[in-house]
Amino acid sequence: MNIRTASPADAAAVAAIYDPVVRDTTISFETEPPDEAEMRSRIEKTLTSLPWLVAEDAAGAVCGYAYASKHRERAAYQWSVDVTMYVREDMRGRGVGRALYGRLLAVLADLGYCQAFAGIALPNAGSVGLHEAMGFEAIGVYRDVGFKHGAWRDVGWWQKPLREPGAPQELRQFAALT
């Protein structure tokens, strides 16, 4: 498996992975799947300062992606990030998520980030298991926070320290992986 920085050219593959998650599940709270152009825009915007990574299968096709985003807007939150990851359905359970998160979390720590947070729409045993295997700890639940597919849904929050919480360092901008 190859993990590399995403490029705008990956937008169609990323949209194809995300489309059934949005359309058929309550894992994402988006209600309309974003198209290729929207995914291209999201990739480009993220890469101006934070990592967006893709995993490629043995045939070189994108089989998963992970990225980071700002945790909150206020300045005191700048050393914290939210992380997100999706894996193509036929590749789930094959270590793609672990590989993506392993690389993403290491890059974020290297950039100077101190805490990573992940919101997981509940129930989602697979995602909970992956996050906990990667060292995330459950910290709380937003009850009935989103309405999708005819019911109110909860979102659990998980946190992982990326580095010791000493004096924060100046954050570095993400530069593409080589």
Residue 5's DSSP bridge partners are 53
Question: Which SS3 state, helix, strand or coil, does residue 14 take?
Answer: helix
pLDDT at 165: 79
Is pLDDT above 70 for 177? no
pLDDT at 133: 97
Per-residue pLDDT averaged across 41-67, rounded? 97
Give CA angle at 156 (151, 161), nearest 5°.
160
Q: Domain boundaries in the chain?
A: 2-118
Average pLDDT along the chain: 96
Cα–Cα distance, 147 to 29 (Å, whole number): 8
pLDDT band at 164 (very low <50, low <70, confident <90, very high): confident
Topology classification of domain 2-118: Aminopeptidase (3.40.630)
Per-residue pLDDT averaged across 38-62, rounded? 97
pLDDT at 118: 98
Whose tokens are 């993990």? That residue is: 3
Contact 154, 143 (CB under 8 A): yes
Which element (helix H / strand E) includes 11?
A: helix 11-24
pLDDT band at 178 (very low <50, low <70, confident <90, very high): very low
pLDDT band at 136 (very low <50, low <70, confident <90, very high): very high
Tokens, residue 136: 């995330």
Question: For 132-135, which contacts have Cβ atoms below 8 Å and span 24 or more sequence positions?
Answer: 132/158, 133/98, 134/98, 134/101, 134/102, 134/105, 134/160, 135/160
Cα–Cα distance, 54 to 86 (Å, whole number): 10
% of the chain at pLDDT higher than 90: 93
Is pLDDT above 70 for 132? yes
Q: Mind listing the pLDDT tens digit for each residue in 80-106?
A: 999 999 999 999 999 999 999 999 999
Give CA angle at 7 (19, 99), nearest 5°.
75
Per-residue pLDDT averaged across 17-25, rounded? 97
What's the pTM? 0.95
